[in-house]
């Protein structure tokens, strides 16, 4: 069968460096660090006392008080970002078939804060089971997708995707495939995560995954730096409206770019560590390039997973140099996690948004917080340290890798009519 072409017609962003897409993109270009002392709970006794929290987010700007209490923070921010994306795409529900509009949404963990608070409240009682009747529907991973569909009356395919930190890239991949197979005209896709909490920070601290640079938190997220000591927790939501090209053209939609390929692989190696030679990362980029029908030399920008962990950064760069060969030195590489922190299940989509914007504006956002070269990384590579770079970006590739060895990759390209 002839596969349909898929374009991006709407974007929504809620990140630690901008509460909408315009501000988020400006934050990236200006090298803004979203890291600050934690305000969502008392972190004074924790090994890590900082995170990349959202700034000034008020759920009552998007939900009335009664409805806000019925949903976890991860769903609140999902609704905020999806509202922006749907408005940006100018979806007219009166003129479109709602049965052909779906939602594929992701989270790595879901309603962790709700789960934590309900268990704490129960433990403080006398053993009598008193739980909020919305406990389960607030917590479950699929509920953000459900709320987005109910809010907007979209009756097409609707489900959640989870693959740890690769979750929202996998959601984009699923949405992409649904549209190109003709099973929907429009899919609202993305992910959200909000786990800056006692259990979230405490759990990742116990794994020794987080930076503990409390005396210099603004520069704690240091991808590719010799002295990186772990990632910085972030919270975010991002949404892309994916649409069948012909459907978009017929309604005169604004088109940002085209999605041309995706890939998914497994390391099949370790619970949390990457394959030391970057085998899964190598295979997922090769799979995405093959799916897109393009050569490595067609890629101008790679938004790396780049979490600022000692092992992960090295493995990914090994994979990039193997896949791209000599062209690796012509490609701009950057990790926007140096600014947003690691937003777990939302990381993939907000980084895909960075790729979309780089293709649209021919600018590559930087990797900030680089202090000392790592001798294990090839210094000839262009990591786009500290400052954005203006260049023609024909196509951009976004990598995301998750605990459990999940790897996902998406490629976006300039739209040519």
**Residues 36-58 pLDDT 10s:** 999 999 999 999 999 999 999 99
Q: Residue 171 is encoded by which pair of tokens?
A: 């959601």
Query: What's the CA gap between 284 and 202, in Å, rounded?
Result: 31
Res 403 pLDDT > 80:
yes
Partner residues linked to 191 by β-bridges: 106, 238
**Where does 74-185 show beta strands of DSSP type E?**
101-106, 158-161
Domains of the chain: 7-250 (3.40.47.10), 261-413 (3.40.47.10)
pLDDT tier at 277, thresholds 50, 70, 90: confident
pLDDT tier at 273, thresholds 50, 70, 90: confident
Res 305 pLDDT > 80:
yes
247 counts as catalytic: no
Q: Catalytic pick from 165, 262, 343, 409?
A: 165
342 counts as catalytic: yes
Radius of gyration, CA atoms only, the chain: 20
Q: Catalytic pick from 305, 343, 355, 370?
A: 305
305 counts as catalytic: yes
Provide mean pLDDT across the span 381-409. Answer: 97
Angle, helices 310-324 vs 279-292, to 10°: value is: 40
What is the per-residue pLDDT for 93? 84
Q: Catalytic pick from 147, 152, 342, 370?
A: 342
What is the per-residue pLDDT for 272? 83
pLDDT tier at 365, thresholds 50, 70, 90: very high
**Structure pTM?**
0.97
pLDDT tier at 276, thresholds 50, 70, 90: confident
What is the per-residue pLDDT for 303? 98
Q: Are 159 and 102 in contact (CB under 8 A)?
A: no
Res 1 pLDDT > 80:
no
Give which of 304, 272, 289 is closest to 413, Cα–Cα: 289
Res 417 pLDDT > 80:
no
Local structure of residue 413 (DSSP, 8 states): E
- Residues 6 or more apart whose CB falls under 8 angstroms from that of 207 comprise 272
- Residues 6 or more apart whose CB falls under 8 angstroms from that of 238 comprise 11, 12, 13, 14, 15, 81, 168, 190, 191, 192, 346, 349, 350, 352, 353
Query: What's the CA gap between 343 and 77, in Å, rounded?
Result: 13
Res 203 pLDDT > 80:
yes
Q: Residue 328 is encoded by which pair of tokens?
A: 């690796």
Res 358 pLDDT > 90:
yes
What is the per-residue pLDDT for 79? 98
Provide mean pLDDT across the span 318-335. Answer: 98
Q: Are 411 and 261 in contact (CB under 8 A)?
A: yes
Provide mean pLDDT across the span 331-358. Answer: 98
3-state secondary structure of 283: helix
In the chain, the percentage of residues whose pLDDT exceeds 90 is 96
């Amino acid at each position: 069968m002839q596969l349909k072409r898929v374009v991006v017609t709407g974007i929504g962003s809620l990140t630690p460096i901008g509460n909408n897409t315009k501000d988020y993109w400006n934050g990236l270009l200006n090298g803004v660090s979203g890291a600050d002392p934690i305000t969502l709970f008392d972190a004074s006794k924790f090994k890590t006392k900082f995170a990349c929290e959202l700034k000034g987010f008020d759920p009552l700007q998007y939900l009335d008080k009664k409805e806000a209490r019925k949903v976890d923070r991860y769903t609140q921010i999902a609704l905020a970002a999806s509202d922006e994306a749907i408005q940006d795409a100018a979806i007219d529900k009166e003129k479109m078939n709602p049965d052909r509009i779906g939602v594929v949404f992701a989270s790595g963990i879901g309603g962790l804060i709700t789960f934590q608070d309900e268990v704490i409240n129960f433990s403080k009682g006398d053993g009598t089971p008193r739980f909020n009747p919305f406990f389960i529907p607030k917590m479950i991973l699929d509920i953000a997708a459900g709320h987005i569909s109910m809010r907007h009356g979209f009756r097409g395919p609707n489900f959640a995707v989870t693959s740890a930190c690769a979750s929202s890239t996998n959601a984009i991949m699923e949405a992409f495939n649904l549209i190109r197979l003709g099973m929907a005209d429009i899919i609202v896709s993305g992910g959200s995560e909000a786990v800056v909490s006692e259990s979230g920070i405490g759990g990742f601290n116990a794994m020794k995954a987080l930076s503990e640079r409390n005396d210099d938190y603004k520069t704690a997220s240091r991808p590719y730096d010799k002295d990186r000591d772990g990632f910085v927790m972030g919270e975010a939501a991002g949404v892309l409206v994916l649409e069948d090209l012909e459907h978009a053209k017929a309604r005169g939609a604004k088109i940002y770019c085209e999605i041309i390929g995706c890939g998914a692989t497994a390391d099949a190696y370790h619970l949390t560590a990457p394959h030391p030679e970057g085998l899964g990362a190598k295979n997922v980029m090769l799979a995405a390039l093959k799916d897109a029908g393009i050569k490595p030399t067609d890629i101008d920008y790679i938004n790396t997973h780049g979490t600022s962990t000692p092992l992960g950064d090295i493995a990914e760069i090994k994979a990039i140099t193997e896949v791209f060969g000599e062209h690796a030195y012509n490609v701009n590489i950057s990790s926007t996690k140096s600014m947003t922190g690691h937003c777990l299940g939302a990381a993939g989509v907000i980084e895909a948004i960075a790729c979309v914007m780089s293709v649209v504006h021919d600018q590559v956002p930087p990797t900030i917080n680089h202090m000392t070269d790592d001798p294990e990384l090839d210094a000839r590579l262009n990591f786009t340290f500290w400052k954005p770079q203006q260049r023609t970006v024909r196509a951009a590739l976004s990598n995301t890798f998750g605990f459990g060895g999940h790897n996902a990759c998406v490629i976006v390209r300039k739209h040519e009519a």
